[in-house]
Amino acid sequence: MVQIPKPPTPASAAVGSVPTSADVARLAGVSRATVSYVLNNTSAVRISEPTRRRVHEAAKELGYVPHAAARSLRAGHSRMVLMPAPTIPVGPLYSQFLSDLQGALGRLDYTVVQYGAVGTHGDEAARAWAELRPVAVLVPGSGLGPQGVAVLKRSGARAVVTLGPETVEGAHALLMDHTAVGRAAAAHLRARGRSRIGVVVPAEPGLEVFSRPRLHGVRHAVHGTGGTGATVIELPLAYDEDDAARLAARWRGLGLDAVFAYNDEYAMLLMRALMDAGVDIPGDTAVIGADDLMLGRLLRPRLSTVHIDLPSGRDLAELVDRAVRDPAAPPERREVLGATVVPRESS
C-alpha cells in the first residue's frame, strides 16, 4: 500500500513558532492596528465588512489567538477578578456560594481567576496577587491587612472586597459574622431548657476563623442573658471516629445536657459516637449542628441545625461591578450572613 504524504497545512507549518498579530496582518494584507481593532471588536474605528472578514479568516488559518495579557497591558486595565483560593477546607455550602459568584461575575463579562498562593499569607500574598494586575480582588477569609489593600490598589485594582469576619481599612467588606450562628444555636438550646452546653471546636487547623466566633456567640448568648447558672464548655474534636469515641466515653462525666457540634458533619460524627455509647439523644443530650445539609434530614433522630443564609452570587457580583465602576466611592460594609434555627428531632 502506497502512503500519500499529506500536504503541509498552515497549522502544521506553524508548529514551533507561536503566530502573532503581525503574521495575521501580513496574511490579510492589513496593518497590525487593523488586526487589533477587528479582533478586539473595537467599535470606535469603522472597518469595512470585507476587511473584517479577511482578518478573521487569516487569524483562523494561522490559528492565532489574542494574548489577554498583552491586550490588558495596552488597554491599561483588565477584566480579571482575582479570587485567592481559600486555604482552608470549605464545606459544600460555601463551595456552592463561590461557584454561583463566579458564574454571576462571568455573566457581567469579568474573567474570574482563582489563584492558589501556597505558602504566602496576608500582605505578602497581596504582593503576589498584585503582580497579576487584577481589576478587582475578592478575598475570602482573614489575614489581609490595610497594607495589602494599599499594595493592590497601587497596582491598579479598582476594588478590593473582603469576605470575612472583620472590616479591613480601604476595602469593601462583606461581613460574615459567625457569632450569629453560635448565638442562634445557644438561644435554641436555652429555650429547650438546656443549661450545660458543650461547643465542639474542630481540631483541624484553619477552621478557627469560623469556630472561634461560633463559640464566642454561644458564650455571649448564654452569659449575656444574666447567666442563671448556665455553663459553656469547649470541646476540641478531630474529624475522626476514634476521637469521637474517646469524647463519648467521658461524656457522662462532663454532665452536659446539650451540644452545639460546630456543623452538621461534626454533629453526625459526635451523635453516632454518643448513641453507640448509650447516650440518649435528645433525652440525655440535645444536639444541634449547622449548615442545614441534606445528611441531617437523613439521620435518626433527624438533626436540628442552624441554616446559614449567604447572599446571592448575583448581588455580590453587582457590588463588585459597582465598585469597579466607581473606585473612589467610600468602602461599603454589608452584613451578609443570616442564621436561622431549623429545629428537628435531635434537640
Size of site (CB under 8 A) for a second copy: 55
User: Which triple of cell numbers denotes residue 96?
Assistant: 456552592
Which window, 116-124, 159-167, 172-180, 191-199, contacts a second copy (CB under 8 A)? 116-124
Q: Which grid cell is 322?
A: 459597582
* Region 141-160 residues binding a second copy, contact defined as CB under 8 A: 150-151, 153-156
Distances (CA, A) of 150 to 143, 158, 285: 14, 11, 50
294 binds a second copy (CB under 8 A): yes
Query: Is the bond preceding residue 330 a cis peptide, omega within 30 degrees?
Result: no
Between CA 332 and CA 282 the distance in angstroms is 43
CB nearer a second copy, residue 127 or residue 223 = 127
Beta partners for 198? 233, 259
* Rounded Cα–Cα distance for residues 110 and 119 (Å): 27
Q: By CB under 8 A, is residue 13 in contact with a second copy?
A: no
- Least separation in angstroms between residue 222's CB and a second copy is 29
Q: Is 130 in the site for a second copy (CB under 8 A)?
A: yes
CA dihedral 12, 13, 16, 19 (to 10 degrees): -100
Look at the chain and count its residues. 347
By the rule CB under 8 A, 295 interacts with a second copy? yes
111 backbone dihedrals φ, ψ, rounded to 5°: -95, 115
- Of 2 and 294, nearer to a second copy (C-beta) is 294
Give the shortest CB-191-to-a second copy separation in angstroms: 27
Binding of a second copy by 117 (CB under 8 A) = yes
Segment 222 to 241, residues that bind a second copy, using CB under 8 A:
239, 241
Answer yes or no whether residue 60 interacts with a second copy by CB under 8 A: no
User: Rounded to an integer, what distance in angstroms lies between the CA atom of residue 315 and that of residue 332?
Assistant: 13
Cis peptide before 282 (omega within 30 of 0): yes
Q: Which residues contact 293 (CB under 8 A, 6 or more apart)?
A: 91, 92, 93, 264, 265, 305
Pick the closer one to a second copy by CB: 132 or 187.
132
Binding pattern for the stretch 242-281 against a second copy, x by CB under 8 A and - elsewhere: -----------------------x--xx--x---------
Dihedral angle at the C-alpha atoms of 133, 138, 142, 147, nearest 10 degrees?
A: 40
Question: Considering beta carbons, is residue 175 or 295 the nearer one to a second copy?
Answer: 295
Contact 149, 168 (CB under 8 A): yes
Site for a second copy in 61-100 (CB under 8 A): 63-73, 85, 89, 95-96, 99
CB of 130 to a second copy, least distance (A): 4
Of 46-54, 101-109, 171-179, 204-212, the segment contacting a second copy by CB under 8 A is: 101-109
- Distance (Å, rounded) from C-alpha 266 to C-alpha 286? 14
Residue 171 backbone dihedrals phi, psi, to 5 degrees: -110, 150
Stretch that binds a second copy, among 28-36, 104-112, 191-199, 220-228 (CB under 8 A): 104-112
Binding site for a second copy (CB under 8 A): 11, 14-15, 18-19, 63-73, 85, 89, 95-96, 99, 102-103, 106-107, 111-119, 127, 130-133, 150-151, 153-156, 239, 241, 265, 268-269, 272, 294-295, 297-298
